[in-house]
Structure 1
């Protein structure tokens, strides 16, 4: 009997030891789980993002917009790695760039120009897209209207609704009865839209429009030269192909004393005479604010309506006026923002 009771006691001790072991293992597992949750919380608070940034070509306006975009994300305190890709003004490069962003699984695409935005939208319906430096987002098919974003795309445009009308009115007042020469890439939808708007604004004025189209930047100087003797004024809209080769247009305008009207202040700083323009850095910064709200989860992309740029104003380049044989009017000192050609 004593042996039997001793046996029962030993068995009881073994069972109790096993239960204690299981309890310790459970507590250890619970502790590990708590550490894992803590680690996950830390990761969430220091989230990093990858943004694919692309533009059709590198020139001052687009570059300033990209700089503003980056600054806004930095000011928002987000940890962002940028993968920048320029299409080098070659439409054939647009699709591979966007497809590459999708394959890499970027968190957001920044599309800086109409071709870049179209390429991004064709590549994905899932990754958020924020565009800027687009002249006509609705006409290009990027968004349904300027009051409604697409399912995964929104942004801001660089063409104020009054910019072209104000510019044409300025040309008509300052250079009446003039033939206005325009050089643009007919393959850029934003350019076609602007040229059509110029023609419409010129109706009922003393102006006539002369057009020259180019397919690439290498053709810009020759096309501009053909306007000599036919155009009294040259008006270069925000066409990426022509703006990337604007030096050649400025050279012709200066040599032939032809007033050069441009589409934005960055082109003015390169030698244009006049523009009703906006600041592209500010435009890009606002696009960056939109992107920050999307990446942080504060707002869905479809809930951010596209935007027009802020108010425009007249910018004039006094040095360019001298180079192009334009008589300076004293009232311009009060009514315009005066700039100089950048060195």
Structure 2
């Protein structure tokens, strides 16, 4: 599973046959203004990936493209006013870093203008944001990170990396719509793997502490389902409690908050932003969002934290470590196979 890449060849052929260029048009305005709506610092890694990728398509922030960033700093009620500010300021496109940002931008946009580009979402159809992924007609398109659908694969990797695991505590946020899809994937995987799962809804730090106290002693590992709370501030509560009970945690997104997790599998926030730059270039070149299919994740990465494995005294399956893209040590950098 070395940098598993999913490529839609049809999209490549469309670009080649049509002769479309993603480089800036010489007749286009000298400075393109693009809005970026971010709900929390946790998602700024997507912006970093976007900035690093833009030069490949002829755009250099500060020279021929201006990124107008609005950050709600964790206060979701500020997202709609910030989105309206971007519309009022006349940005050509609004890039969004998550679901709540996308919903706010969609409300603020008038009749699909400006177009919206989401830098990584899951449950897109389930939440009614887009009906047809191949031809989105709602004035928005972007990257589908498949976080929910990959939940079953995360369970499989956790169990195969640590063969003694027989009972897994599955933590999820009941207020996250894609949870339904994620739970279905986990239940199906658990049946095939013949492991027991204990599903536990949590939406705050107190809930995490209570569940770990009640279910932790009987569990062999913990699986997180997609949730901004569990992937960010919730991790601060979860990691020390799980470590104390000797429980390896399989996470969803790579972030500073998840350093104490045993393993993480999925597309990184950075890579989601990096991939989104190509779609942005298409929109700036004049393509309508409805002509740009929602893209699946281009890169899926498995990271294993060897320090955590040693601290927990885990007996890892050596052959499975070969599937990891990064073997991570908190004190000594990364070892990439």
How large is the RMSD of aligned CA atoms in angstroms?
2.8
Structure 1 residues 187 and 280 mapped into 2: Cα distance closer, same or farther (>3 Å)?
same
Q: Is residue 172–residue 206 contact of structure 1 (8 Å, CA) maintained in 2? A: no
Q: Is residue 92–residue 114 contact of structure 2 (8 Å, CA) maintained in 1? A: yes
Q: Is residue 173–residue 179 contact of structure 2 (8 Å, CA) maintained in 1? A: yes
Runs of 4+ in structure 1 over 4 Å off: 43-46, 216-226
Name the larger-Rg structure: 1
Q: Is residue 53–residue 110 contact of structure 1 (8 Å, CA) maintained in 2? A: yes
Q: Is residue 70–residue 82 contact of structure 2 (8 Å, CA) maintained in 1? A: yes
1:235 aligns with 2:223: yes
TM superposition shift of 1:156? 0.6
Structure 1 residues 95 and 160 mapped into 2: Cα distance closer, same or farther (>3 Å)?
closer
Partners of 1:275 and 1:114 in 2: how far apart? 21
Structure 1 residues 224 and 147 mapped into 2: Cα distance closer, same or farther (>3 Å)?
farther
Counterpart of 1:65?
A: 46
Counterpart of 1:84?
A: 69
Counterpart of 1:171?
A: 158
TM superposition shift of 1:235? 1.0
Partners of 1:106 and 1:258 in 2: how far apart? 47
Does 240-249 or 229-238 show the bigger shift?
A: 229-238
Matches within 5 A, 1:149-298: 149-159=136-146, 163-173=150-160, 174-175=162-163, 178-216=166-204, 220-221=208-209, 223-245=211-233, 246-266=235-255, 270-297=259-286
Q: Size of the alignment, in residue pairs?
A: 298
Write out per-residue CA displacement over residues 159-190 of structure 1, whole angstroms, 9 at most, x where no aligned residue. 26863232222334444663322333222223
Counterpart of 1:336?
A: 324
TM superposition shift of 1:73? 2.9
Partners of 1:197 and 1:282 in 2: how far apart? 24
Counterpart of 1:50?
A: 33
1:103 aligns with 2:82: no
Structure with greater helix share of residues = 1
Partners of 1:48 and 1:218 in 2: how far apart? 49
Structure 1 residues 311 and 83 mapped into 2: Cα distance closer, same or farther (>3 Å)?
closer
Does 133-142 or 95-104 show the bigger shift?
A: 95-104
TM superposition shift of 1:65? 1.7
Q: Is residue 46–residue 271 contact of structure 2 (8 Å, CA) maintained in 1? A: yes
Q: Is residue 155–residue 223 contact of structure 2 (8 Å, CA) maintained in 1? A: no
Write out per-residue CA displacement over residues 67-97 of structure 1, whole angstroms, 9 at most, x where no aligned residue. 1112333443332222222333343233222
Task: Say which SS state the counterpart of residue 217 (structure 2) adopts.
Answer: coil
Partners of 1:280 and 1:87 in 2: how far apart? 18
Partners of 1:206 and 1:220 in 2: how far apart? 26
Structure 1 unaligned segments of length 5 or more: list them.
Answer: 1-42
TM superposition shift of 1:326? 1.0
TM-score where L is the length of structure 1: 0.76
Does 287-296 or 68-77 show the bigger shift?
A: 68-77
TM-score where L is the length of structure 2: 0.77
Counterpart of 1:35?
A: none
TM superposition shift of 1:220? 4.7
Structure 1 residues 287 and 171 mapped into 2: Cα distance closer, same or farther (>3 Å)?
same
Counterpart of 2:303?
A: 315
Q: Is residue 258–residue 325 contact of structure 1 (8 Å, CA) maintained in 2? A: no
TM superposition shift of 1:341? 4.4
TM superposition shift of 1:309? 0.6
Task: Say which SS state the counterpart of residue 84 (structure 1) adopts.
Answer: strand
Partners of 1:57 and 1:223 in 2: how far apart? 26
Structure 2 unaligned segments of length 5 or more: list them.
Answer: 1-25, 332-337
